[in-house]
Each structure stands twice: as structure tokens, then as C-alpha cells.
Amino acid sequence: MDKVSVEDVTKISTSKEVNGRRYSAFNVLNQETLLLFQIISSGDFIINGFTNKNIRQRYFKECSENTKNISKTTRILAKLKAHDIIKKVARKNKYYLTSDGRKLISNVLIYTKRELLN
């Protein structure tokens, strides 16, 4: 597996501005962020990609059709895209993980799930 540098993790851990719009940073130690990373890196989405609805149904289990949750998922996807973790398919509402995003997320998940030995 390819190693991810500290600079790559720092890059997503700082806010980013794209086309005059500011996108907040990811806290790679936050449980919600780790859940999001687990969802989008799931093997279910490797071939066909994922949509807003796919992410919403897994992230907000009970009330995924709530308008507030639909909007929040749209903002999350925009944030992932701004940090170059995902890319959008042209003229479709589908997204894929970028190769750098896949490496970054898999390494973050490996290191945050590692248990310390006593």
C-alpha cells in the first residue's frame, strides 16, 4: 500500500478556498468524519460510484429523506470535492473516489482504527 505523507493529511485538515468559496477542514479524528470516510470508501461504490442518496441513506439512517439532511449531504459532497477526495461524473449525479482520495482515506482509517498494545 502506498504511504500517505503528513502533508497530505495536513492538506485536508486545513480549510480550502475554491473559486472564492471557503470549505472547512476535515477533522480526521472525529467519529463522524471517520464514518463518512468509511461510507465513501466502501467496496459497494468502487464500480458504479455513489450518489447523494446512497451516502444519505447510510449516514443518516432514520431520517434520510429529511430536507435538512439532503442539504447537509450536498454540502458534505461539495467539501469532499473541494479537497480533491472525490470527483463528479460529467452530466450525472454520481461521484467516485479519486486515486489520491482512496489512498488518503484508507491510510487515515488504518491508523485511526489501530489499537495500542498495553
- With a cut of 70, say whether residue 118 has pLDDT above it: no
Write down the domain spans for the chain: 6-10+27-113
Output the pLDDT for position 33.
95
pTM: 0.90
Over residues 36-51, the mean pLDDT reads 95
CA distances from 24 to 13, 21, 59, 61, 86 (A): 9, 10, 19, 24, 16
User: Rounded distance, CA 71 to CA 44, Å?
Assistant: 23
Q: Which CATH number among 1.10.10, 3.90.930, 3.40.50, 1.25.60 corresponds to the domain 6-10+27-113?
A: 1.10.10
